[in-house]
Amino acid sequence: GLRIYNRVSHTEGGRVARSKDVMMRRFKRDLGKYRKQAIRYIDNAFKSLEAGEAEKAGEFIWGSMAQAVKGVAAARDIRLVSHNQLREFAMSLAKDLKDTAISRDFQVANSLHSNFYEPELTVAYVFQCLEQIRPTIGRLLSLVPSNM
């Protein structure tokens, strides 16, 4: 099953400033933001590829995948606060849904993220990755309720 990842809230005068319930309501409200950001990043990836900027495009593809995964997690009352937790959730989700494309495409997107810092990939290759990953991002976003 999936694990819940939470960060401890800050305290004021020894009291917890925000309860888990309040935080989860905020995450539910943010579902639309995850969806919009994922779509915006895909649009920016295409624009970056048109401009010949493979590194930027790859980072946008990674961002889109990350936002889509965070959206699915938030829809399930799960808060992801680290890159490692994002990866663990994506792998668990792929297993739970029996959708190997999620784990495969998450790893590809992660490699594009790494390419931002060590640029070696061509525009053509990053475009191929985008075409491969885009349907998976769409499937992930379909798991995020549009109105909460």
Q: Is-contact 87 73, C-beta < 8 A? A: no
Residue 85 DSSP class: H
User: pLDDT digit string (tens) for 45-65?
Assistant: 999 999 999 999 999 999 999
Q: Is-contact 53 116, C-beta < 8 A? A: no
User: pLDDT digit string (tens) for 3-28?
Assistant: 444 443 344 444 444 455 665 566 56
